[in-house]
Every structure is written in structure tokens, then in C-alpha cells.
């Protein structure tokens, strides 16, 4: 068997880097406490926050519980934004050359009557000219109406 890993270096901070480091530190707390493991995060003071709006997943509450972070306090104090989808205006062009918008509705994998929503879109939805996201998600309509979830508190 090979030599056990003694050191992990995470290059880049931000949400992903810091959550990764925190998760690993929690998962390997025994090894760290005994001196058998170190975790280092390298973050440049010269690179500004990108602010791309990292999305979280339904697993976030479990992650917070695992690392010992209170979800309600996090939401209250971290200036969070609730993101329902990704909106790309002018992402591509329609056949007539007009700009096309596209919405990634962040839908999970689910079936309707045993079939993927893609099946129903390909069979029935394309005839209407609507985008797939408009068929399977309320997000495009919410965006068009400037609607979104309420922030708790």
C-alpha cells in the first residue's frame, strides 16, 4: 500500500475553495489534530472576487450540518442571493437572426409518467416554438415578470 496523503493544498479561494477546505478539515479532523495531515488554502490578495454567482445544490443543508455551520445564520449574515436559474440574454441567435435568450432552470432529474421531460418536449413542445426551459420550469416566466423567492427574515 502507498504512503498516506499527508498534505492537501487547495489553490484558489472563493466559495468553492473555502467550502472545500472546510469540508476536508472536518472530514479529516482526527488526522489534522494528530499532525498526520495538513490542509493549506492559497488565495491571492491581488485577484478580486469574480462574483459569478456560484449556485448551491439541494445538498447544501447537509453540507452545512456536516461542517457545523448554522444555515439560518449563514443566510442572515452572508448577504446571500437565491438563484433559481441561469439567464443568458443574447446567448445565440434565432433562425431569423434575432437575439435569443436561454434559461438554465436548474431542474433536477425527475420523470413524468415514467419518462423524462425531454421526451414530452421533443414530442409536443417544439411545435409551439417555446424553449425547453419554458416547458419544464416556471423560471423563465418568473424572470419575465421580475419575480423571485422572498429572502427569509
Reading the chain (153 residues) residue by residue, the pLDDT tens digits are: 799 999 999 999 888 888 899 999 999 999 999 999 999 999 998 987 766 555 566 677 888 999 999 988 888 887 777 777 888 888 888 889 998 888 887 766 677 788 888 888 888 777 777 778 887 788 888 888 988 777 666
Given 77, 103, 118, the domain boundary residue is 77
Q: Give me the helices (H) in 5-146, please.
A: 14-27, 29-33, 60-67, 71-77, 117-120, 132-136, 139-144
**Which residue in 74, 66, 101 sits closest to 86, CA to CA?**
101
Active site residue 123: no
Q: For residue 116, give its domain range.
A: 86-144
Q: Count up the domains in the chain and report the number.
A: 2
Give the model's pLDDT for residue 56: 62
Set 83, 95, 101, 147: catalytic member: 83
The alpha carbon of residue 61 and the mean position of all alpha carbons in its chain are separated, in whole angstroms, by 13
**Is residue 110 domain-shared with residue 139, that is, in the same domain?**
yes
Amino acid at each position: 500500500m502507498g504512503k498516506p496523503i499527508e498534505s492537501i493544498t487547495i489553490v484558489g479561494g472563493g466559495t468553492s475553495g473555502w467550502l472545500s477546505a472546510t469540508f476536508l478539515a472536518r472530514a479529516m479532523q482526527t488526522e489534522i489534530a494528530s499532525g498526520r495531515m495538513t490542509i493549506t488554502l492559497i488565495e491571492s490578495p491581488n485577484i478580486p472576487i469574480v462574483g459569478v454567482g456560484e449556485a448551491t445544490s439541494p445538498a447544501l443543508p447537509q453540507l452545512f450540518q456536516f461542517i457545523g455551520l448554522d444555515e439560518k445564520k449563514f443566510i442572515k449574515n452572508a448577504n446571500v442571493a437565491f438563484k433559481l436559474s441561469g439567464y443568458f440574454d443574447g446567448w445565440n441567435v434565432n433562425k431569423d437572426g434575432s437575439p435569443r435568450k436561454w434559461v438554465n432552470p436548474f431542474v433536477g432529474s425527475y420523470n413524468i409518467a415514467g419518462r423524462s421531460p425531454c421526451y414530452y418536449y421533443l414530442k409536443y413542445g417544439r411545435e409551439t416554438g417555446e424553449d425547453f426551459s419554458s416547458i419544464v420550469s416556471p423560471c423563465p416566466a418568473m424572470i419575465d415578470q421580475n419575480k423571485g423567492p422572498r429572502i427569509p427574515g
